Amino acid sequence: MCSVLTHPVVPIALFTVFPQEALSPAVLLVGAACSVVPDLDVIGRQFGIRSNHMLGHRGLTHSIAFAAVLGAILTYTLFRSSHADPWVVSLFLFVSTLSHALLDMLTNGGQGVALWAPFSNVRYFFPWRPIEVSPIGVRRFFSRRGGQIMRSEIRWVWLPSAGIYFLGNVVRWYG
């Protein structure tokens, strides 16, 4: 997985390419939270749920179905009375949540992502996996290995996201 610091970078960048009249800072904040929510599945370890189980790490909470359901529920419960287009808000929250799984599929460790859960527990990676996998747990992150992970995430996630953010703002300002 990428670190908890890196996952929200993607929704922040994507925010600039969505219609601005449909999104608000509150939607961005919820989208950033959505990009981290899938890793709550690590709580299952405390209850003996193994990583290869559908409810284990990178299982159901990393799936397309979970991202769609979470985006729809949050749109309905948090933004139904706003003046924003609910389809755009829901799409933004869906993409923000799904970005977590897609980034995890680019990492070089773990057992893959159950992208099609709950219909299949087959785990997937992309054929190209340049991002160093981040350890689970804060203590292990603050080490020499943690520095390597952050350099990898800056190179493969932060810099491309900064490019998208910049281009999105340029198009918005001059478009």
2 assigned to some structural domain: no
Residue with tokens 């340049």: 130
Mean pLDDT rounded to a whole number for the chain = 93
139 assigned to some structural domain: yes
Distance CA 105, CA 130 (A): 10
Q: Could you tell me the two tokens for 11?
A: 């929704």
Residue with tokens 């929510």: 37
pLDDT score recorded for residue 1: 64
3 assigned to some structural domain: no
Pair 24, 171: CB distance under 8 Å: no
Q: Is 7 exposed, middle or buried (0-12, 13-18, 19+ CB in 10 A)?
A: buried
Domain that holds residue 90: 9-174
1 assigned to some structural domain: no
Q: Is 113 strand, coil or helix?
A: strand
Q: What pLDDT digit, counting tens, does each position of 95-152 carry?
A: 999 999 999 999 998 889 999 999 999 999 999 999 999 876 666 666 777 788 999 9
Domain count, the chain: 1
113 assigned to some structural domain: yes
99 assigned to some structural domain: yes
